[in-house]
Amino acid sequence: MIERSQNYLANILSTLCAEIGASLFLEPVFQRAGYIEFKNGKKVFFKGTSFDINGQGAAQIAKDKDYSARFLAMSGLQVPEGVLCFSPRFTEKMMRKNAEAARQLTSFSNAIAFAEQHGYPLIVKPNEGSEGDGVRRIVGVEDLCLHISKLFNEHERVLVQRQYDGSDYRVVVLDGNVISAYRRIPLNIVGDGTASVIDLMQAKAKEIKNSGRNPTLVLDQFAISEFLAVSGRSSTDIPGDGEVWPLLPNANLSMGGEIEDVTDVICPEFSEISAQAASALGLRYAGVDILCSGIHQFDPSYIVLEVNSAPGLNNFGRSGKRKNDKVVELYRVLIENLMKEQNYDEKQ
């Protein structure tokens, strides 16, 4: 496994900048933002995993799950069917600015009507969010209303979507080319017939920590208890020998999910779909999330779940040397492209 680092990306950037004679400058306190200065004096900035490679407008559209789904659908891609709900606070604020527009905003009643039309389970999530925060599988109207109300305390817009079956894949695209692809497996435990869920979960956290990934979210017992309750289970239950129990509804790596590298087996159709999704949102660099039966051959019932304009690759890269090498190569290509766009001339 890759040796754990306080700043995985910064270490990669530092090495790559040294290779080309560029300088890396990091904000000294958190070291999460900075810039790369090339030998000709030109600079490109970054914050977290957001680089000066995607336009600001495109990145903002990708961040908005409802907007991005509309743009993806307009380009002919299949996206989740859902409804956007606006918080009373947001509606009241809009009423003061534009009463006519405020009257068109959807609310709780639209979510309930959507549920009555499509049935349960449903997926409810913040319209703008990442790393699986606030995502919950809903099985009834009371649960639906309670979770939307809870999200409205922190978010102005909430998405209610149909749940689709399939495996969750992340495909990373740079300038129309697939750089990496991997299957994301939700946080889960495997029973031995004697240990409880909480014991197995703690063992899982140690396993993740030893791999170099951050285990803190794995210990979010409240989120796990919520998900287990939906399935009629609890953290004190004892799974049978060999039984696999998922602990969260989403497969985000930051929430303890696991990965399977499928870069070498992604079929041409899904490579094209991924490139088309990035292009539909005006993104050169993107992580495209696809739900399908398998990425090795085309599944006509696929769904493009969402597109990330700043895909985080830390957990992917830290899960093995081969994967780390892919992440390093991706950032090498990204930096080389940024350097060329700064009218870089080796003779300068």
Is the pLDDT reported for residue 289 higher than 60? yes
pTM of the model: 0.84
Using pLDDT thresholds of 50, 70 and 90, give the confidence band for residue 244: confident
Per-residue pLDDT tens over the stretch 160-208: 999 999 999 999 999 999 988 999 888 888 999 999 988 888 888 887 7
pLDDT of residue 254: 64
Residue carrying structure tokens 């209610």: 160
What mean pLDDT do residues 35-56 have? 92
pLDDT of residue 284: 95
Strand order across the beta sheet in which 33-37 lies: 23-26, 33-37, 43-47, 50-51
Share of the chain above pLDDT 70, in %: 90
Domains and CATH numbers, the chain: 8-49+313-341 (no CATH), 81-163 (3.30.1490.20), 191-249 (no CATH)
Per-residue pLDDT tens over the stretch 109-155: 889 999 999 999 999 999 997 767 788 889 899 989 999 999 999 89
Is the pLDDT reported for residue 3 higher than 50? no
Residue 4 DSSP one-character state? P
By C-alpha distance, which of 104, 222, 89, 95 is closest to 151?
A: 89
Q: Which amino acid is at 4?
A: R
Using pLDDT thresholds of 50, 70 and 90, give the confidence band for residue 267: very high
User: Could you tell me which residues come within 8 angstroms of residue 193 by beta carbon, excluding any fewer than 6 positions away?
Assistant: 238, 239, 240, 241
